[in-house]
Amino acid sequence: MTRVLAAAPTERLQRRAVVYLYTQTGQLREVAQALTAPLEARGWDIRWVDVRPRNAFPFPWPIRRFFGVFPQAVDPQALVELVEPAGGFTTAADELVILAYQVWYLAPSLPIRSLLKTHPEAVQGRTVVSLIACRNMWYSAAIEACGLLRSAGARRVDVVAATDTRRSSTTLVTTLRWLLTGKRAPFLWFGRAGVGDDELARVTAVGQCIAESRSCPADAAPVVPALAAADIIAGKVFRRWGRTARSMRRFGSTADAASLIAFALSLGIAIVIGLPLIGCAAVVGGERFAIRVRGFVYRRISFHLPVFDDVVVA
Amino acid at position 164, single letter: D
Interatomic CA distance for residues 94 and 237, integer angstroms: 40
Coil, strand or helix at 107 = strand
Phi-psi region of 188 (alpha: psi -120 to 50; beta: other; left: phi over 0): left
* pLDDT given for residue 11 in this prediction: 47
Cα–Cα dist 288/164, whole Å: 26
CA angle 179–183–185, rounded 5-degree value: 125
Low-confidence ranges of the chain (pLDDT < 50): 1-11, 308-314
- What pLDDT score was predicted for residue 310? 42
Phi-psi region of 302 (alpha: psi -120 to 50; beta: other; left: phi over 0): beta
The whole-number pLDDT of residue 6 equals: 40
Collapsing DSSP to helix, strand or coil, 256 comes out as helix
Q: What's the whole-model pTM score?
A: 0.89
Domains and CATH numbers, the chain: 2-222 (3.40.50.360), 229-287 (no CATH)
Q: What is the pLDDT of residue 13?
A: 52
Q: Are strands 308-313 and 303-304 parallel, antiparallel or unpaired?
A: unpaired
DSSP string for residues in 32-91: HHHHHHHHHHTT-EEEEEE-EESSPPPSSPPHHHHHHTHHHHT-TT----EEPPTTTT--
pLDDT tens digits, one per residue of 102-154 = 999 999 999 999 999 999 999 999 999 999 999 999 999 999 999 999 999 99
pLDDT digits (tens, 9 = 90+) for 17-39: 999 999 999 999 999 999 999 99
Cα distance from N-terminal residue to C-terminal residue, the chain: 5
Position 281 scores a pLDDT of 67
